[in-house]
Structure 1
Amino acid sequence: MEDFIKVAKRENNAKRSYLYVNPLQGKHVPVSPIASISVFTCLAKMLEQRFPQERLLIIGFAETATAIGSNIAYEAANADYYINTTREDVLGTDYLFFTESHSHATEQRLVKKKLEVVLDKIDRIVFAEDEVTTGNTIEKLVNVIKSEYRGVSCKFSIISILNSMSDERMDELQHRDISCEFLHRIPFEYHISDVNKYKYERLRSDIPKGNKTNPIWIDIGNSWNCRVVQDTVTMREKLNAFVKETMEQLSIDPKTDSLLVVGTEEFMFPGMLLGKKLEQQLNIPVVRFHATTRSPIEISLDQNYPLHNRTPLESLYERERKTFIYNLQHYDRVIIVTDSNQKNLNGMHNLLSALEEYGNKNVTVVNWGDANAEE
């Protein structure tokens, strides 16, 4: 179980002082992309076996579960469509709004564009998460969807790596036609008292500047907007073409011993998929993936605690939005994969400066189109 769950302390969050950090999730903790994708693919196979005759719309939850949801949609044969919730602005659309009350950023949105058409073509919506504690946030979104699209006849399910809901709560959701699938069941508030046993480090407040790194820039066309619903045939074609074209343009020294791929906030799966291909095809001893995040989490030097260093950044997507990257270290090569399209150059400058502070000077930035481009 410790492969899947570490308890960490949220910074200044009175609503929920803890959160579960999954070392295999590829968000906060650097991890082998092959290891992450193997876990997420298990969830895809579960859905194929559980709902073999149904057409599915997969919804990944921003920001930590976007790679999980995307990978499920990419792998599951019965996944027909994919979209993830978002906190970003998307041009040319309206939104369904709901809240995630325990989060550092409570407002969540689901882009309405094309959604009504898709709802008439599917049998079930599956919400993908890393860990489900109460199911309250997902239930709120189900209610919003039912209220907005009163003729919707599809069913609903939750799929997650971890589930800590009580039997009573799962029965309650089942009575509301929301079924729960998961890899591992853990007790409610599992080990949350562990957050009291660590000594926490003083948190850094200054954003790194003074970057001298001159990265290689690669722009890839035919972008994939994960925040607007899209059929999975097109999604797979775009992702595969992105990986192929990027690998053709990357020049990796055969003597490279370590390589890091960094995703940005909600935009995780393309970088993770690229990392998997690099890990499979190149003889590099260490390949890792993780992503920048909005989540403010305490750090500790205790070896049993998951997060040991934290660098504050400005977002690549919006000026003055505070984000973080955890557990940085030195790698021979770093590849940043983003769809921010240079919206905030200060944010990119901060990220490059943070990498440089850990000795990372051989950096490539891969930009895959514009996250705000209309589909």
Structure 2
Amino acid sequence: MRERLRVLDEIAVDVEIHKNPFHFELKDLFSMAARRNEKRAFLFVSKLLGKHIPINPKKALLTGRLLGYFIDQKTRGQSFNFELIVRALKDDKYIDEALEYANNNLITLHKPTLFIGFAETATALGNSVFAQFVGGNILYIHTTRDELMECTSTFDFEEEHSHATSHFCYPLREDILNDYERIVLVDDEITTGKTALNLIKSINHKYPKKEYVVVSILDWRRKEHIKEYKSLERELGVKIHEVSLVDGEAECNSPSVKGIEISYQNENLGDGPQVSENGSEVLVKDYSFVWGEYKNFTRRLCDGELKNYRYIESSGRFGISSGEISKIEASAGKIVSTIGAFNKRVIVLGTEEFMYIPMVIASKIPNAKYQSTTRSPIYANREESYGIQCASKFRSPFDKGITNYIYNIKENMYDEALFITEREVDKESKAEIINLFKSVGIYDISFIYF
């Protein structure tokens, strides 16, 4: 069945579903939005990722777990209780039970497997998929936009539809790809599949004859794109599995929307006194925690400046083992216990690629919602069914030439915000972020860093 989805009466996207094994309603998976991108005029705004839309963080974690089970079914024919997890993704009241089931039924792989998540949107999704597996023969790493001068990228490639296209990969172990027979590539959405194909070609050039699994929530490849996969399998002599929650086609011939100005909620807000409308002061708290081991690297900023930053080794950017997953869970629980009481209406924010650790922290806080900042510029509109209702923007604290965006935090929606970054935010950036939260009526603000 073919359905036409309209975006702001400016863009028409024709969607046809071929496979929907878990019978998800499309409205439960995504909303539509228009974006500032000449390569593709629209965006499927995921309701499962925790990126552009605030969600229950456990739902985002569980989405990865479901894909993990589906991978095992596709590659080894194993059978698990999909029904409970699917029910939980459709109804939050089953989420705790479903996560307990997933944790009690981790999967051991006999084939050495490397999981790779794509920056920036799928870094946490890839980690969540990886968390469903256990064993000493598996590893997770995500690609990064950060160009690190001391590191040699194991592979680099371009993402064709993305706003920021370059990917690097910096495992701390040399020759990492030689250790694994199967490579699992995780992205939130596949449009043409060329990003994965580019990566497979890049890997195969140095490490031939691997087995691949391409994983996504949404797979929109048309017949000609699927043929490209089959052709590449024959050309390289490899096997490529595909795993997704929904498989179909999406076609759009509309040009990118022009002439729409985005009104940012915080754009006209000066520094001003730090008091709320009722006269109470803004409460700003800083929490510095130690998180495992660190490495110092020199990052090339977008203007060419070189700057030294400290990175968390277990963030996923440099590779983590399955044993690190339980350590992340335990550390997140300790952080939440240390901070103590939270407001009932609390939003936890990860930043750009740094999504999984903040997401796990958020999952330990009762009633918390979670989302992340993003580099993607998207049009905001108050139309009821539109995916981006409102927008705020600020300069990235760690590369001020990059604009970051936060979407769908409406005025007076939350009483408290936790802004979680890999390292401490400088005073100038902190003031900008405080003003952003003030503009939406949040006066209890915690900066958490490591």
> What TM-score, normalized to structure 1?
0.86
Tell me, yes or no, if the aligned pair for 2:346 and 2:416 is still in contact at 8 Å.
yes
1:269 to 356, 359, 362: 356
Aligned pairs for 1:143-158 within 5 A: 143-147=201-205, 149=206, 151-158=207-214
Determine the structure 1 residue equivalent to 2:325.
Answer: 236
Tell me, yes or no, if the aligned pair for 2:40 and 2:256 is still in contact at 8 Å.
no
SS of residue paired to 1:350:
helix
Determine the structure 1 residue equivalent to 2:112.
Answer: 55
1:66 to 112, 123, 142: 123
The CA distance in 1 between the partners of 2:345 and 2:255, in whole Å, is 32
1:201 CA displacement: 5.6
Determine the structure 2 residue equivalent to 1:371.
Answer: none
Sequence identity percentage = 25
1:165 to 199, 211, 221: 221
Q: Bigger shift: 357-366 or 62-71? A: 357-366
Cα 1:31–1:56, aligned 2, differ >3 Å: closer, same or farther?
same
Supply the AA of the counterpart residue of 1:229.
Answer: G
Supply the AA of the counterpart residue of 1:2.
Answer: K
Supply the AA of the counterpart residue of 2:422.
Answer: D
Supply the AA of the counterpart residue of 1:228.
Answer: F
SS of residue paired to 2:179:
coil
The CA distance in 2 between the partners of 1:74 and 1:291, in whole Å, is 20
Determine the structure 2 residue equivalent to 1:316.
Answer: 397
Counting matched residue pairs gives: 352
| CA-to-aligned-CA distance 1:305-335 (integer Å, 9 cap, x gap) | 0111111110022122111111113312221
Tell me, yes or no, if the aligned pair for 1:8 and 1:195 is still in contact at 8 Å.
no
Cα 1:20–1:34, aligned 2, differ >3 Å: closer, same or farther?
same
1:48 CA displacement: 2.7
Tell me, yes or no, if the aligned pair for 1:319 and 1:346 is still in contact at 8 Å.
no
The CA distance in 2 between the partners of 1:302 and 1:43, in whole Å, is 32
Determine the structure 2 residue equivalent to 1:302.
Answer: 383
1:91 CA displacement: 5.8
Determine the structure 2 residue equivalent to 1:372.
Answer: none
1:216 CA displacement: 1.7
Supply the AA of the counterpart residue of 1:75.
Answer: Q
1:351 to 429, 433, 436: 433
The CA distance in 2 between the partners of 1:3 and 1:194, in whole Å, is 27
Supply the AA of the counterpart residue of 2:35.
Answer: R
1:45 CA displacement: 1.2
Determine the structure 2 residue equivalent to 1:334.
Answer: 417
Aligned pairs for 1:1-375 within 5 A: 1-11=26-36, 13-52=37-76, 53-77=110-134, 80-90=138-148, 92-95=150-153, 96-114=155-173, 116=175, 118-147=176-205, 149=206, 151-175=207-231, 176=233, 177-189=239-251, 202-204=262-264, 206=267, 209-210=270-271, 212=274, 213-221=282-290, 222=292, 223=312, 224-233=314-323, 235-253=324-342, 256-279=343-366, 284=367, 287-329=368-410, 330-342=413-425, 344-368=426-450
1:346 CA displacement: 3.2
The CA distance in 2 between the partners of 1:50 and 1:353, in whole Å, is 48
1:276 CA displacement: 1.5
SS of residue paired to 1:346:
helix
1:6 CA displacement: 1.8
| CA-to-aligned-CA distance 1:185-230 (integer Å, 9 cap, x gap) | 132327x86997x996633394855173452222222142321122
The CA distance in 2 between the partners of 1:40 and 1:112, in whole Å, is 22
The CA distance in 2 between the partners of 1:332 and 1:350, in whole Å, is 18
Mark the runs of 5 or more structure 1 residues left unpaired by the alignment: 369-375
SS of residue paired to 1:267:
coil
1:9 CA displacement: 0.9
1:241 CA displacement: 3.1
Cα 1:194–1:37, aligned 2, differ >3 Å: closer, same or farther?
farther
> What TM-score, normalized to structure 2?
0.72
1:73 CA displacement: 1.1
Determine the structure 1 residue equivalent to 2:3.
Answer: none
1:152 CA displacement: 4.2
Mark the runs of 5 or more structure 2 residues left unpaired by the alignment: 1-25, 77-109, 234-238, 275-281, 293-311
Supply the AA of the counterpart residue of 2:167.
Answer: Q
